[in-house]
Amino acid sequence: MPRVPPPEGKPPKLKSCKVCRQKFQPRTPLQVACGWECAQVHGQKVTAQQKAKQQRQERAQDKAKLDSMKTIPKLKAELQTVFNLYIRLRDAGKPCICCGKFATAAALAKPGGAYDSCHYRSRGSADHLRYNEDNVHLGLKDCNTWGHKDYRGGLIARIGLERVEALESDQALVKWTHDWLRSTKALYQARVRELKRNQE
């Protein structure tokens, strides 16, 4: 529906200046500033916003391009970092899966903390289980570094013998894909955010 012009002789409706917020009477429908100085400030602001938007778009394009060039090993490592963080958050407050003990205050104060995400079947011998939640649990760094004391016993107590034996007999072959690694990383990033919110 076309706009009906105001009756002749009636002044245009007052506007608020986009810069100084003072009321003014516009000379044209598109006028947003009360005078030249405010118009110049507004123009500079719009230009800066457009430039920032363009830079954000360029950064997003660069990020997408770099992400598309990531190799399978790179994506596996990125997912492993997020997955391990999820395990540490999931098991927060629980004792070491291997020895049943909690970290000392001195160990907690060390750089990197006192706990690791410990794999029952190692990534080297069972790569297909590296992201299996039954296969990974919170453990003390010393237990993870110097060998599991009784991971199996702790695991049976935690998830039951049937699930432990299922892990031990799992010899499945897996072919990692870019899409699966990316989507699974996004899934665990969301789970990490949720756990952090719940633990605040």
The mean pLDDT value for 166-192 works out to 96
pTM of the prediction?
0.70
Q: Are both 23 and 117 inside the same structural domain?
A: no
In a domain, 128, yes or no: yes
In a domain, 2, yes or no: no
Q: Are both 169 and 120 inside the same structural domain?
A: yes
Nearest to 154, CA basis, from 82, 74, 100, 94: 100
Measure the CA–CA gap between 103 and 140, rounded to whole angstroms: 7
In a domain, 6, yes or no: no
Residue found by looking up tokens 């949720």 in the block: 194
CA 151 centroid distance within chain: 30
Q: Are both 91 and 52 inside the same structural domain?
A: no
Q: Are both 126 and 179 inside the same structural domain?
A: yes
Residue 153's alpha-carbon distances to 84, 96, 98, 125, 143, in angstroms, are 21, 12, 8, 20, 14
Q: Are both 105 and 149 inside the same structural domain?
A: yes
Q: Are both 79 and 64 inside the same structural domain?
A: no
Q: Are both 86 and 165 inside the same structural domain?
A: yes
In a domain, 136, yes or no: yes
**pLDDT per residue as tens digits for the range 13-60:** 899 999 999 999 898 888 999 999 999 999 999 999 999 988 898 888
**pLDDT per residue as tens digits for the range 62-102:** 777 777 789 999 999 999 999 999 999 999 999 999 999 99
Number of separate domains in the chain: 2
DSSP state of 129: G
Reply yes or no on whether the pLDDT at 7 is more than 70.
no
Q: Are both 93 and 128 inside the same structural domain?
A: yes
Give the domain range for residue 115: 72-199
